[in-house]
């Protein structure tokens, strides 16, 4: 009996995508595009950014084929991201193709176009949608995203809830820009079954990150605790978020503490950029091109395994955030 349970637990903690630190990777985030219909200043810093031409992006059949290879190696969860995944013309086709794989399929979106995809989400088996929203104030929203779709996004969040999707709302908290909205988001969870995630502002190419602009987990917790009686909820093993709830409220809130309390020890994530480069960490300085060998008909499994084995213990091996060299977030896929 003991031997059986030991074997089972070992099977659950290792797979073909285990790295040298014993972390098994079962979660793949696939970016569909580096184009977007918003211009969030922490993500797409350059207003006139030129997105990658379509032929250089993975095509729908290539995404499906490469995703199948990852699935055969142990991936059982795929998140579609971007850029804004829903601006891609064949987004619905890609979702339907991936829905044939035995994986949990999810998506991160800014929700501008969500009303056009409700049926597609359902047909593709998507049950949970992550929405980016950094303020509940229309003017502040315009200042952050440099676009004016606030009302439509709010309506689309209601629509998702009305259709019984699980909705997580991601807010990037930046000191001096939107930290006061944290309280509005906590109030929003009173009558709505939303999971809000407050994300510490992270550095990426060109986003003018400074340590002083990070509104830390400790500061957020202190701010919220002044006004609300909160309880700590249990976090699951691979959770990147530290979960809380105001006593008696419908929704929850959580903190993603990449800067002040990194959670790399339980990381189970791998990334694929829209142009087919594998990144073993959000902050990795190296990438592995999978698309070119895939198009040449080569076996990409050795490349994937080698990238996993090269994964560094923490934050891509980089601790000097002030001088970070990386793609901008929009070109990685958050």
| Closest CB 274 distance from ligand SAM, rounded Å | 11
Residue 132 sits in the site that holds ligand SAM (CB under 6 A): yes
Q: Which is nearer to ligand SF4, 132 or 156 (CB)?
A: 132
Q: Are 281 and 27 in contact (CB under 8 A)?
A: no
* β-pairing verdict for 230-232 and 241-246: antiparallel
Residue 199 sits in the site that holds ligand SAM (CB under 6 A): yes
Q: Which is nearer to ligand SF4, 63 or 112 (CB)?
A: 112
In this chain, which of 108, 145, 240, 288 binds ligand SAM, going by CB under 6 A? 108
44 interacts with, out of ligand SF4, ligand SAM, none, CB within 5 to 8 A per kind: ligand SF4
Residues with Cβ within 8 Å of 16's Cβ and at least 6 positions away in sequence, in order, are 73, 74, 305
Overall size of the chain counted in residues: 334
User: Restricting to residues 75-94, which ones interact with ligand SAM according to CB under 6 A?
Assistant: 81-82, 84
User: Which listed range, 184-192, 200-208, 269-277, 297-305, lies at the site for ligand SAM (CB under 6 A)?
Assistant: 200-208
Could you tell me which residues are beta bridge partners of residue 24?
18
Residue 141 sits in the site that holds ligand SAM (CB under 6 A): no
User: Which listed range, 4-12, 46-54, 65-73, 198-206, lies at the site for ligand SAM (CB under 6 A)?
Assistant: 198-206
Q: Which is nearer to ligand SF4, 171 or 308 (CB)?
A: 171
Residue 172 sits in the site that holds ligand SAM (CB under 6 A): yes
Q: Which helix (H) or strand (E) holds 256?
A: strand 252-256
**Strands of the 269-272 sheet, one edge to the other:** 230-232, 241-246, 252-256, 195-200, 166-173, 128-132, 104-109, 77-81, 27-31, 269-272, 277-279, 288-289
170 interacts with, out of ligand SAM, ligand SF4, none, CB within 5 to 8 A per kind: ligand SAM
Q: Which is nearer to ligand SAM, 19 or 84 (CB)?
A: 84
CB atoms within 10 A of CB 322: 8
Interacting residues with ligand SF4 (CB under 6 A): 36, 38-40, 43-44, 82-84, 110, 132, 330
Q: Which is nearer to ligand SAM, 132 or 245 (CB)?
A: 132
Residues with Cβ within 8 Å of 164's Cβ and at least 6 positions away in sequence, in order, are none
DSSP of 273-320: -TTSEEESSTT-S--EE-HHHHHTT---HHHHHHHHHT--SSGGG---
Residue 43 sits in the site that holds ligand SAM (CB under 6 A): yes
The residue ranges of DSSP E strands in 110-211, in sequence order, are 128-132, 166-173, 195-200
- Rounded Cα distance, 184 and 89, in Å: 35
Q: Which stretches of the chain bind ligand SAM, using CB under 6 A?
A: 36, 42-43, 81-82, 84, 108-110, 132, 170, 172, 199, 201-202, 204, 207, 329-330, 334
């Amino acid at each position: 009996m003991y031997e059986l349970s030991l074997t089972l637990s070992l099977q659950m903690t290792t797979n073909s995508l285990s790295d040298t630190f014993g972390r098994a990777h079962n979660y793949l985030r696939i970016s569909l595009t580096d184009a977007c219909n918003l211009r969030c200043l922490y993500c797409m810093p350059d207003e006139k950014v030129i997105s990658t031409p379509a032929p250089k992006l993975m095509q729908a059949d290539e995404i499906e084929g490469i995703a199948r290879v990852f699935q055969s190696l142990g991936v059982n969860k795929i998140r579609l991201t971007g850029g804004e995944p829903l601006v891609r013309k064949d987004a619905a086709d890609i979702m339907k193709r991936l829905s044939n794989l035995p994986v949990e399929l999810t998506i991160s979106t800014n929700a501008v176009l969500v009303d056009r995809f409700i049926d597609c989400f359902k047909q593709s088996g998507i049950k949970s949608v992550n929405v980016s929203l950094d303020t509940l104030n229309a003017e502040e929203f315009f200042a952050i995203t440099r676009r004016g779709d606030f009302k439509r996004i709010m309506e689309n969040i209601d629509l998702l809830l009305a259709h019984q999707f699980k909705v997580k709302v991601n807010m990037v908290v930046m000191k001096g820009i939107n930290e006061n909205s944290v309280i509005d988001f906590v109030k929003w969870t009173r009558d709505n079954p939303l999971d809000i995630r407050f994300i510490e502002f992270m550095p990426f190419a060109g986003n003018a990150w400074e340590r002083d602009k990070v509104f830390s987990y400790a500061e957020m917790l202190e701010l919220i605790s002044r006004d609300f009686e909160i309880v700590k909820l249990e976090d699951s093993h691979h959770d990147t978020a530290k979960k809380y709830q105001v006593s008696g409220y419908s929704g929850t809130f959580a903190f993603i503490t990449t800067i002040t309390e990194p959670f790399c020890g339980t990381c189970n994530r791998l990334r694929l950029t829209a142009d087919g480069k594998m990144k073993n960490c959000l902050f990795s300085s190296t990438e592995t091109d999978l698309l070119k060998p895939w198009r040449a008909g080569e076996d990409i499994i050795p490349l994937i395994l080698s990238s996993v084995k090269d994964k560094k213990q923490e934050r891509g091996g980089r601790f000097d955030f002030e001088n970070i060299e990386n793609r901008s977030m929009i070109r990685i896929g958050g």
